A and B are shown apart, each in its own frame.
Chain A
Amino acid sequence: MRKIDFISSSTPLFLVMVLFILAIASWLFAGTALNRAMIELLVRVVLVVSIYIFVGNSGIVSFGHVGFMAIGAYAMAWQTMLPLLKKNAMPGLPEFLLTGNLPFPIALLFSAMLAGLVGLLLGTVILRLPSIAASICTFAFLMIVHSVYSNWGSVTGGTSSIVGIPTKVNLWVAFSGAAICVIMAGLYQLTRYGLALKCTREEEIAARAAGIDIFRQRLIAFVLSATLMGFGGALYAAFLGAIYIDAFYLSQTTMLLAMLVVGGMSSLTGAVGGVVVISLLTYVLRGLERGVQLGPQTIALPSGTQEVVLGVVMIVALVSSRSGIFGTRELGEIANRFRARGAIWARFQPSND
């Protein structure tokens, strides 16, 4: 029993180590472009792991998490941009935001809290529904956020971009964010709340019979997940320095879901692995869309190929192995299984004495 505890609790540490090695490698060897890609990857780890906390553990798909990301990102812009820029782009902000200018870490915290609060409100309402209806309502939430933020011009700049968010996210800030997120997700899975929620995912009726308050467990995960999603969105804004509402819509949702699905929806290892695999894929495809020098002429894929390939990869991943590369398994368990297999094998070896 103690051994299992050790192994499942070491999974997030393994994952953080892998990310650390990737970050170090990129810090030592990569040029600026690759370095930026690495930061983007780490921010995506934050986002996908946040989605995983709810979707992976509850088994309910959310198409609306990018809405929380948008809320976090815009909150970051509201808090950290120079007052002069804010007065220009978003004159409708309340006085304390217009004149003030908060330091980055505090702004991160508030952004996450705002998203969490919205998550609490939304979750209280929709998580009482059957899971399929709840999924569709999350999609409606995404559309609500998109429609409100693109029409509320005085506060969000409407559909045009907001430029001039101080870029505070470097490689190590992004890595710390990803590490915090992975560890929180890992710890959550080990709490009774995480275990109870996983139980409802596997067998809703049995879970209810065992006295689990399904609504409450789902809500806890949803709020935690929304909070971290807001945190990720804020990091994203402070990494790019410029945001626009269309960046928080279907393409972003598809990208993040693809990352979650390809690695395996129900495993933290899968979530992180999926981010790495899909990031690599899109990096290559983006390069191919820009064009490759082949002898005298450049060959380029038509733009839009990236999206089509991403969708197809997602479908193929779902059809070929319904639960993704990792299924419900975690890195620790896989290592453990190999060890166990070795031990059994050793027992059958002829002994020499």
Chain B
Amino acid sequence: MMGYFSQTVIDALSWGGLYALAALGIGLLYGVLRVINFAHGDFITVGAFSLIVPSTQATAQLALGALPAPLLIIGTLLVVTLVALLSDLLVFRPLRGATPSTIMIASFALGYVIQNIVLLLYSSRPKAVDLWPELNEAFGFAGLRIPQLQIWTVTVAALLMVALTVFLKASSYGIEMRAASEDLRMARLLGVRANRVIALAVALSGALAGAVSLIIATQSGVVSYQMGGPVMLFAFIGTIIGGMGSLVGSALGGFAVGFSSVILQAYLPDDIRPFRDAILFALVILILVIRPQGLILVKTMRERV
């Protein structure tokens, strides 16, 4: 029993880390640009599909996935980053200053377009991708059997978060970005170059999506054209709980959502387990009723008159 519990906790930690990364990608874009990016999930999909050659066959041939690990990682991150920058250029930049509703619908449409382009190129069949199979081998530790990948996921997520924090707190780019996310107009007046900061935020958000796609593809071994959607939604819910616009809040919120989804999965009675997502969302909505501003309140998010 104790073993099952510890196993579940480790599982929950790794999913929490994954959702924290996805939520950071979304929170970054919202913090700096006020863009609610519903296409983030499809950025993740693009990353996973860049590993394989476009075809309609069920057994996938590796494209980027055939490269040695360092090149593979850099390549995938690069592809997703490029897609993100292109999206910014074609969709978000022309809409700068538009109402949040307009931007939201545009990003929703963008995600739909990306998803269907993937569908056109790769067909709707889920494809098996055998990326780093040795990582899914478990190793024993104090009576537990832990797949190596879960340790990698937690480690990578933690490292990326530390790196991002250092970047945001210590580098001049990071400080500019935080200033922009507090108040873009004021930051511009003080000499922050808006377009550079924005491009950087978009690129970082894309790279985070790329990292998430690699982890998911390795973990599940299957990619499908709709894989990004649920991840994105969980991450979104995470950013809302965390108090939109706060990066720390996003990461915490994403982690909380991922963590509790695994716990629910493990401890819900069998006959209501299929409704896990519904229950999770209901819980989240409940939290929001009690604390509508999220767990961490960002002062500048309150509308000024």
Contacts and interface: CB of A to CB of B under 8 A. Distances in A.
B100 interface: yes
- Give the dominant DSSP class at B's interface: helix
Contacts of A319: 91, 94-95, 106
B36 A147 contact: no
Contacts of B236: 136, 139
A63 B108 contact: yes
B213 to A, nearest CB: 19
Nearest to A319: B94
Contacts of B116: 304, 307-308, 311
Contact of A129 (B91, B109, B278, B288): B288
A322 B289 contact: no
A205 B305 CA distance: 7
B95 A322 contact: yes
A318 B106 contact: yes
B237 A257 contact: no
Nearest to B91: A315
A314 interface: yes
Contacts of A318: 95, 98, 102, 105-106, 109
A282 interface: no
Contacts of A315: 90-91, 106, 109-110, 113
Interface in B230-285: 230, 233, 236-237, 240, 244, 274-275, 277-278, 281-282, 284-285
Given A129-B288, A133-B240, A302-B120, A314 B109 contact: yes
B81 to A, nearest CB: 21
Contacts of B187: none
Interface of B: 36, 38, 90-91, 94-95, 98-102, 104-106, 108-110, 112-113, 116-117, 119-120, 229-230, 233, 236-237, 240, 244, 274-275, 277-278, 281-282, 284-285, 288-289, 292-293, 303, 305
Contact of A61 (B104, B233, B277): B104
A147 B285 contact: no
13 contacts: A59-B101, A128-B289, A129-B292, A143-B230, A148-B275, A152-B275, A257-B108, A311-B109, A315-B110, A318-B95, A318-B109, A322-B99, A322-B102
Interface string A320-332: 0010000000000
- Give the dominant DSSP class at A's interface: helix
A305 interface: yes
Interface in A18-65: 55, 59-61, 63
A126 interface: yes
A176 interface: no
Contacts of B289: 125, 128
Closest 10 CB pairs of A and B: A311-B113, A151-B274, A307-B116, A314-B109, A304-B120, A311-B112, A144-B278, A319-B94, A140-B281, A311-B109
A258 interface: yes
Contacts, number: 124
A295 interface: no
Contacts of B240: 133, 136-137
A314 B275 CA distance: 33
Nearest to B90: A315
Interface of A: 55, 59-61, 63, 125-126, 128-133, 135-137, 139-141, 143-144, 147-148, 151-152, 204-205, 250, 254, 257-258, 261, 265, 302, 304-305, 307-308, 310-312, 314-315, 318-319, 322
Contact of B303 (A55, A205, A265, A302): A205
Contacts of B38: 139
Contact of B101 (A130, A135, A250): A135
The residue in A61, A133, A137, A205 that gathers the most chain B C-beta atoms within 10 A of its C-beta is: A133
Contacts of B237: 136, 140
A137 B281 CA distance: 9
A63 B36 CA distance: 13
Given A125-B285, A136-B236, A311 B102 contact: no
Given A139-B38, A140-B285, 5 more contacts: A140-B284, A265-B101, A304-B119, A319-B94, A322-B102
Contact of B112 (A136, A147, A205, A307): A307
A304 B116 CA distance: 6
B281 A130 contact: no
Contacts of B90: 315
A129 B95 CA distance: 25
A135 B36 contact: yes
Contacts of A60: 101
Contacts of A140: 233, 237, 281, 284-285
A115 B146 CA distance: 46
Contacts of B277: 143-144, 147
Contacts of B101: 55, 59-61, 131, 135, 265
Nearest to A130: B292
Contacts of B305: 205
A124 B108 CA distance: 25
B36 A311 contact: no
A143 B282 CA distance: 11
Contacts of A304: 116, 119-120
